[in-house]
Amino acid sequence: MPDARRILDANLNRAREALRVMEDLARFVLSSGSLSGDLKAARHDLRRIAETAGLSAVELAAWRDTPGDVGTGVTTDAETQRVGLLDVAIAAGKRAGEALRVIEEVAKTLAVNAASARSEPTDPAALAKALRYRVYELERRLLLTMGTTDGRVRQWRLCVLITESQCAGRPWTDVAARALRGGAECLQLREKDLSDAELLRRARTLVDVCRVHGGVCIVNDRPDIALLSGADGVHLGQEDLGVADVRRLAGRGLIVGVSTANMTQALQAAADGADYCGCGPMFPSTTKAKPALSGPEYLRAYLADDRTARIPHLAISGISAANVATLAEAGCRGVAVSSSVCGAADPEAAAREIVSRLG
């Protein structure tokens, strides 16, 4: 069956090439030894499909006819355009899955290698099907993690958590605007006790304030409010919806941050595809009681691990102009604060001083 062999040869090559692209993205962009290792294993397992069908590399090459392949000159505009490395990952994942499906279907027309005496499955179509499902999961892991490196989220220097009760009697909208003028790049709406309708109204108002001053607007805890208000993102605690659930609701339409208190939580957030991590608590907080402190030591560990260092971070809890230099010495590049700006006599000056002392 020369036609079947030509199809298998072309799609084995296509799948192998796609998996190598995915492997190199995991290796060189994500520095993920586990993911790149799993992709490498999948690439090597491709060989078993042809071997199980009794097809050697020499036999497949003998049936190859690249000059006579009418498909080599057929292209689309989408094939020649990649906006960034995330697009490269998406294209490679789809290509690998499509190739494996073709291999699976065509392999059904071939006789199983009766000479094989292995204990594992010897049906090449079954092997291709199993590998296809493995690749779907590898694709999911790669895309979720690659999503944090596509340029949507840069490292903010200062995020101010806006809570009306922390604003010392001043209009919270005025405090928000002053914080942005003082150098805050991101504002997070953090109100725990409002009705849904009032929370949505405030979120929409804060979105407007951020648009005027060029800031990013994040809503605490509530992806539904973030979506309805037009906010840029949502920040999740450990007891809130997971990153994957928010992606099901919003896709890449929302920036997703996750609060983490240790490396176990940070590594899970990285694996889930969080766009940034809140790291803390760093110091005792006057806003919210903390049973235990993670401290600057946790921040150092976060920045020392390649799997998390590539993800933007915001150190949080008890941070002020008086202690932010301690975090800067640990390598901190961004902080989240509340009362030290919202409750200051001059929120603009307070924000500017924190940014200055962060270095």
The pLDDT score that the predictor gives to residue 242 is: 94
Greater confidence, 235 or 81? Answer: 235
Quote the percentage of the chain above a pLDDT of 90. 70
User: By mean pLDDT, which of 244-253, 321-330, 340-349 is the weakest?
Assistant: 244-253
Q: Which residue type occupies 245?
A: D
d(CA 258, CA 237): 6
Q: Return the closest-CA partner of residue 283 out of 313, 327, 314.
A: 327
What's the rounded mean pLDDT across residues 222-231? 96
pLDDT of 81 higher than 70: yes
Mean pLDDT of the chain: 90
Which amino acid, one-letter code, is at 326? Answer: T
Q: Which one is predicted more confidently, 77 or 299? A: 299
Same domain, 114 and 243: no
DSSP characters over 133-187: HHHHHHHHHHHHHHGGGSSS----SEEEEE-GGGSTTS-HHHHHHHHHHTT--EE
Please check whether residues 164 and 35 belong to one and the same domain: no
- 172 shares its domain with 119: no
User: What DSSP designation does 66 have?
Assistant: S
pTM above 0.85, yes or no: no
Q: Which residue has the higher pLDDT, 72 or 119?
A: 72
The Cα–Cα gap between 250 and 275 comes to: 14
Tokens of 198: 């009032």
pLDDT for residue 235? 98
How many folded domains does the chain comprise? 2
pLDDT of residue 89: 94
What is the helix (H) or strand (E) element at residue 189, kind and residue range? strand 186-189
Same domain, 173 and 317: yes
Q: Counting Cβ atoms within 10 Å, is residue 156 exposed (0-12), middle (13-18) or buried (19+)?
A: buried
pLDDT at 187: 98
Express each pLDDT in 100-133 by its tens digit: 999 999 999 875 444 444 444 578 999 999 999 9
| pLDDT for res 98 | 97
Q: Are 314 and 218 in contact (CB under 8 A)?
A: no
Looking at 149, 170, 196, the residue that finishes a domain is 149
In one-letter notation, the amino acid at residue 67 is: P
Together in a domain, 114 and 194: no
| DSSP symbols for 207-262 | HHHHHHHT-EEEEES-HHHHHHHT-SEEEE-TTS--HHHHHHHHTTSSEEEEEESS
Whole-angstrom distance, CA of residue 316 vs CA of residue 124 = 53
When pLDDT is cut at 50, 70 and 90, the band that residue 77 belongs to is low
CA distances from 90 to 32, 79, 225, 265, 271 (A): 17, 12, 29, 27, 17
Q: What is the pLDDT, as a whole number, of residue 116?
A: 45
- For position 151, what pLDDT does the model report? 53
Do residues 63 and 162 both lie within one domain? Answer: no
Q: Which residues of 221-258 are buried (b: 16+ CB within 10 A; e: fewer)?
A: bbbbbbbebebbbbbbeeebbbbeebbeebeeebbbbb
Contact call for residues 289 and 255 (beta carbons, < 8 A)? no
Question: 246 and 295, same structural domain?
Answer: yes
Statement to judge: residues 107 and 166 lie in one domain: no
Q: Which pLDDT score, from 0 to 100, does residue 333 have? A: 97
**Are 184 and 109 contained in the same domain?**
no
**What is the average per-residue pLDDT within 303-312?**
92
Q: Give the C-alpha separation, 193 to 102, whole Å.
A: 55
Residue range of the domain that includes 339 = 158-358
Q: What is the mean pLDDT of residues 198-219?
A: 96
152 pLDDT exceeds 70? no
Last residue of a domain, one of 149, 180, 206: 149
150 pLDDT tier (thresholds 50, 70, 90):
low
Maximum CA extent, the chain: 83
Kindly report the CATH number assigned to the domain that includes residue 265: 3.20.20.70
Percentage of residues in the chain having pLDDT higher than 70: 92
- The answer on 351 and 211 residing in a single domain is yes
- Please classify residue 289 by burial: count the beta carbons closer than 10 Å to its beta carbon, then call 0-12 exposed, 13-18 middle and 19+ buried: exposed
Point out the domain boundary residue: 122, 149, 176. 149
Tens-digit pLDDT profile for residues 153-189 = 789 999 999 999 999 999 999 999 999 999 999 999 9
Same domain, 237 and 308: yes
Query: Is residue 219's pLDDT more than 50?
Result: yes
Instruction: Compute the average pLDDT of residues 277-306.
Output: 90
Q: Is 214 a residue whose pLDDT tops 60? A: yes
Interval 186-205 mean pLDDT: 97
CB-CB neighbours of 300 under 10 Å: 15
HSE (side-chain half, CA atoms, 13 Å) at 125: 11
- The set of catalytic residues is 190, 259, 288
Residue 42 and residue 189 in one domain: no
So what's the pLDDT on residue 117? 40
Query: Is residue 149 over pLDDT 70?
Result: no
